[in-house]
């Protein structure tokens, strides 16, 4: 018998479908290898999240395979153990109420920046648009408890960026919903690769802060269909 209230059932089932579909975008965009990486979504009105189970290949990630956990990482609904990163996701949701989706990948170029523990400088208009400045580096932390989540929150609270490079580990992205967090992960890998390529030719020049602020405001408030 599920402990999820029936009033939450429509949202839970919708999020299982959405999260399963969004997981397919990670290998499609070359952001993960084998079973690494995960997408989660906050369940509105409850301290719950939907996430993929641990160690399951992407071709098996159907809506029925998704699991529901609480913010402490405990399984609430599902037949398998939640992702090993569930503690980190839960900590983010508990301490950043504006966040509705979290993504973790091991994409090659973003993870390379995490390996050298260096922020990605804001040298492109696309970076200013999406990330609002440099993409920061978070502290090294081991998997298994909420240490990674604490590092994500401490770093992103002081940044406009929806992405953080966790030192020696890899990128995490956040968003108002899970789709926005996946978008940030895709764009992060793109700019991480481009800035690395630029460095092979010369040292790229960071944009002026005033221009970064102007670009960020336009993209976040004017660009696209409202």
The span from the CA of 9 to the CA of 170, in Å, is 33
Residue 129 falls in the annotated catalytic set:
yes
Strand partners, 41: 50, 101
* Those residues with Cβ within 8 angstroms of residue 164's Cβ, 6 or more apart along the chain or in another chain: 135, 136, 137, 138, 151, 152, 155, 156, 171, 172, 173
CA distances from 201 to 48, 112, 195 (A): 47, 18, 10
Catalytic position from the list 72, 208, 211, 223: 223
Catalytic position from the list 70, 146, 169, 216: 169
Residue 217 falls in the annotated catalytic set:
no
Residue 106 falls in the annotated catalytic set:
yes
Strands 48-51 and 101-104, bridge-based pairing = unpaired
Catalytic position from the list 104, 109, 134, 146: 104
Catalytic position from the list 47, 108, 129, 145: 129
Closest CA to 173 of 90, 85, 103: 103
Residue 23 falls in the annotated catalytic set:
no
Residue 89 falls in the annotated catalytic set:
no
The span from the CA of 178 to the CA of 192, in Å, is 21
The span from the CA of 103 to the CA of 168, in Å, is 17
Catalytic position from the list 106, 108, 213, 217: 106
Q: Where are the alpha helices (DSSP H) in the chain?
A: 9-23, 25-28, 86-95, 108-116, 125-131, 147-156, 178-201, 209-221
Active-site residues: which are they?
Answer: 104, 106, 129, 169, 223
């Amino acid at each position: 018998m599920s402990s999820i209230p029936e009033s939450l059932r429509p949202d839970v089932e919708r999020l299982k479908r959405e999260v399963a579909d969004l997981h397919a975008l990670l290998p499609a965009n070359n952001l993960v290898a084998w079973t690494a990486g995960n997408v989660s979504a906050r369940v509105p009105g409850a301290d719950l999240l939907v996430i993929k189970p641990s160690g399951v290949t992407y071709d098996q990630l159907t809506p029925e395979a998704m699991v529901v956990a609480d913010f402490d990482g405990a399984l609430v609904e599902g037949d398998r153990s939640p992702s090993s990163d569930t503690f980190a996701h839960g900590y983010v949701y508990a301490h950043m109420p504006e966040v509705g989706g979290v993504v973790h990948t091991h994409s090659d170029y973003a993870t390379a920046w995490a390996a050298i523990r260096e922020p990605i400088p804001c040298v492109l208009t696309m970076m200013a648009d999406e990330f609002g400045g440099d993409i920061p580096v978070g502290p090294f932390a081991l998997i298994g408890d909420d240490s990674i989540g604490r590092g994500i929150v401490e770093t992103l609270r002081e940044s406009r960026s929806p992405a953080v490079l966790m030192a020696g580990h890899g990128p995490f992205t956040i968003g108002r919903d899970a789709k926005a967090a996946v978008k940030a992960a895709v764009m992060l890998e793109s700019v991480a690769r481009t800035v690395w390529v630029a460095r092979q030719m010369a040292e790229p020049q960071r944009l002026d802060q005033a221009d970064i602020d102007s670009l960020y405001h336009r993209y976040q408030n004017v660009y696209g269909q409202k």
